[in-house]
Structure 1
Amino acid sequence: MSRAATAFAISLREHARNYVLLGLLVVLPVSFITLAFAVTQDGQIPVRTLVDGEMTTVMRGLPAVHGVIMTPITSALIAGLAGLFLMHEAKDTDGRLVSVGYRARQVVAARFGVLAAITLVVTGVSVGVLLVDFTPEHLWWFVAAMLVLSATYGLVGMLVGTVFDRLAGMWLMLILPMLDVGLFQDPLFVQSDPDWWMTLLPGYHSVRVMVDVALTTDVDAVASLGWAVGYLAVVAVLTIALFYRKTGLKRD
């Protein structure tokens, strides 16, 4: 465990020196979330969400809906890029760690521990910026859904890093959260039952929870959070399997 902790600390320091990631962490929450409230005109908009167990259309303030959606977009985008960078770093160095005496599970624990730490920071910053302008009706449910979504996109970023180089992966991870959360899951755009393929996207279940717990007084989307955790678990298993393959580690 001491070796895993050492590898964790070294990897975390490397990411702390990643000025692209740090810049995004400072700039994106303010530019996406704060400006969403600042530039969105006051008004009411219909939002489809669960109320008493049934899908219902409710009227909510346009700035609040916009800000609630921009928060997970921000977190997913930064976490996804962090996962991408982490995978590329791992492909370059983790085989050498094993050659000098590290066990494969120690390396895996360190890498995924770094992703977990980054997920916590990204979620905390994004939610903190949101709270300046808006407080969800059920804050801790909202935070839980944000953590699941951020972790899922962090793993998706690692998966992308196993296939694409850094530049192509960055473009993909910039676009995917925008399309998923910002278009296909956004109640500003989708005001009817989603198509079946939309339900397969990483943001579907988590965003359902966020819209419910942020904009209504009752918590009706608990089952969706369970599905989101299940989706996260499947992506985690796939990511770990590909991590071993791409880094050349042998299971121990």
Structure 2
Amino acid sequence: MTPMTAAARGTGPLLVRRFLTDYARNRVNLLMLVLVPGVFVGAASGSIAKLGELLSGTAAPGAQVQTATAGWAAGFIAAIAMYFQIRAARAADRRLILAGLPARRLATARAATGLALAVMASAAAVLTLAAGTGITHPGQVIAGTFMFAVIYLAIGALLGALVAGPVNGIVLIFFVWILDVMFGPVFGSATRPAGRVFPTHFVTLWMTDLPSHHAGRVGDLGWALVWTLGATILAWTVVTRTSRTARAPRHGRPGTVTAQLRAALQAGLLDWGRNRVLWVLLAAVPTVFIVLATALAPGSKTRMTVDENGRQVSTVVDLSFGAGIHPAFMAPIAISSLAVLVGMFLTLDSRAADRRLVLAGQRPGPLLAARLALIAIAALLIVGVSLAVTAAVADIRQWGSYIAANTLLALTYALLGVILAPLFGRIAGVLVAFMVPFLDLGIYQDPMLYSMPPAWAHYLPGYGGFRVLTDAVLTGNFDQTGPLLIAFAWLAGITAAATVVFRRGMHTTRRTAHSRRQPTTAPLRTTKHLGRVA
């Protein structure tokens, strides 16, 4: 037995502790373990239950929906955490293996770390559910929530191995998660055969006591365990394979203001051109989301409040498949969710290169303009694709106002992503970037859930744009000047904030570089002085 082999035997628990310490070192990650379940399970579960009732057409799915939210929260946290465990640590893992650490031992440590993260995510979600609504069958809920976390742990590991770009990876995780939730039993028929292909279909059925009548002799619990065991095997296989490979990072390059701006734009667009998966995702995700919203349109009517000639009027709106109202309200949610992720990751991915460019002589102004232009192009691409699909399935009364409202929301949320990027980093930033548009546009601004947004929701970034959008969908005359001005004020304010955040990052870097040069120049001045004295 070689000394390295003997030493490696005790490294497994040490590596797990180090990996968990690295995760906990970012205090925001720990905050997300409380915040995400608090949002899904605590604050928004009642509104989600109301949405489930609207979409499923059943009289009282509220208890099932609130129970399922614990699994949704745990799964989402576990998937994001495992994605970055696999993707961000590839170079470090490769160096450990080259130094003599057995690949299997490293893979075991990574897998154990993922399992520990799944346990933490599940515990946070279950505790939040117990504190908020109570748990009728604790053993069933705890086990079901943990199964959710393990299944999504495997999804995060698989995408971490296959998808290099964090934008692409996180968008795909969000895409799988939203399909799984929206096509799940609590938002539709528990007996629908097509639902069996989604990863947590049987787990949800067993966890929420919704009999499927299509599980055969094995039963819903049996199929849920099969999915969980398959996910465990998949996660182990992926972690073992990826521990043998690694990749290296990239760089970027810098004259007059116009020349620098043109060069930065060309470099950014060239980098985008190589990332074909991103372009496909920016087109495919909103398309599928809106088509899905059309297919899941509730066959019911609801009462909404609209502004007509300066007066608030209550009107009954048909939400059924043929009316085309439901996808019109779902489109801005897809647009804003993608825009904030794109804004955040384009900022994070270019930050190191931007700092090197500034140190090499690039002016921060043209560099900032180029980055904001690239983010705006991405946001407008999302808007264009989404509206093209929406036009085929939705009935919009004022298309000009509808396009303007979606564009304002996309740009606002894309720039919000620029601000979130340096504040929260990758893992916590993704969770915050997901929750803000979900709560703002998907819950509190949605006229299907609230005839008028709560008073405090008037201060959220989506209020002005969504009021303009609602007016465009439901009325034939524009009379939302006040909300439109609010939307422009949000866009102007968030642009100014993004500019400050970007310039501050570049200024800090330059000051740091300057301070590093000081020790080398001071002794030179002293030496010259001593020479003159001599």
Question: TM-score when scaled to structure 1?
Answer: 0.92
Q: 2:462 aligns with which of 199, 203, 218?
A: 203
Q: Distance in 1 between matches of 2:370 and 2:360?
A: 16
Change over 3 Å in CA distance of 1:101–1:209 after alignment to 2: same
Q: Does 1:45 align with 2:302?
A: yes
Equivalent residue of 2:325, what SS?
A: helix
Q: Does 1:103 align with 2:363?
A: yes
Q: Does 1:242 align with 2:501?
A: yes
Q: Does 1:7 align with 2:264?
A: yes
Structure 2 counterpart of 1:230: 489
Structure 2 counterpart of 1:30: 287
Q: Does 1:60 align with 2:320?
A: no
Does the CA contact (< 8 Å) of 1:81 and 1:154 recur in 2?
yes
1:64-104 deviation per Cα after TM superposition (whole angstroms, max 9, x unaligned): 33212211101101110111012212321112112223211
Does the CA contact (< 8 Å) of 1:29 and 1:125 recur in 2?
yes
Q: 1:184 aligns with which of 444, 452, 473?
A: 444
Q: CA deviation at 1:105?
A: 0.9
Q: CA deviation at 1:16?
A: 4.4
Q: 2:422 aligns with which of 155, 162, 172?
A: 162
| Percent sequence identity over aligned pairs | 31
Of the two, which has the highest radius of gyration?
2
Structure 1 counterpart of 2:385: 125
Q: Distance in 2 between matches of 1:16 and 1:163?
A: 28
Q: Distance in 1 between matches of 2:315 and 2:456?
A: 25
Q: CA deviation at 1:22?
A: 3.4
Does the CA contact (< 8 Å) of 2:302 and 2:318 recur in 1?
yes
User: What is the number of equivalent residue pairs in this alignment?
Assistant: 249
Q: CA deviation at 1:61?
A: 2.1
Structure 2 unaligned blocks of 5 or more: 1-257, 511-534
1:155-189 deviation per Cα after TM superposition (whole angstroms, max 9, x unaligned): 11111101112122122212221111010000111
Structure 1 counterpart of 2:432: 172
Change over 3 Å in CA distance of 1:25–1:92 after alignment to 2: same
Q: CA deviation at 1:208?
A: 0.5
Moved more, 21-30 or 127-136: 21-30
Change over 3 Å in CA distance of 1:46–1:20 after alignment to 2: farther
The amino acid that maps onto 1:57 is S
The amino acid that maps onto 1:238 is A
Structure 1 unaligned blocks of 5 or more: none
Moved more, 225-234 or 60-69: 60-69
Does the CA contact (< 8 Å) of 2:341 and 2:417 recur in 1?
yes
Equivalent residue of 1:50, what SS?
A: strand
Q: CA deviation at 1:23?
A: 4.8
Q: Distance in 2 between matches of 1:216 and 1:228?
A: 19
Change over 3 Å in CA distance of 1:153–1:20 after alignment to 2: farther
Change over 3 Å in CA distance of 1:26–1:119 after alignment to 2: closer
Q: Distance in 1 between matches of 2:399 and 2:434?
A: 27
Structure with more relative contact order (C-alpha pairs < 8 Å, separation 6 or more): 1
Q: Distance in 2 between matches of 1:45 and 1:16?
A: 45
Change over 3 Å in CA distance of 1:168–1:13 after alignment to 2: farther
Does the CA contact (< 8 Å) of 2:303 and 2:316 recur in 1?
yes
Question: TM-score when scaled to structure 2?
Answer: 0.45
Change over 3 Å in CA distance of 1:65–1:47 after alignment to 2: farther
Q: Distance in 2 between matches of 1:170 and 1:20?
A: 19
The amino acid that maps onto 1:8 is L
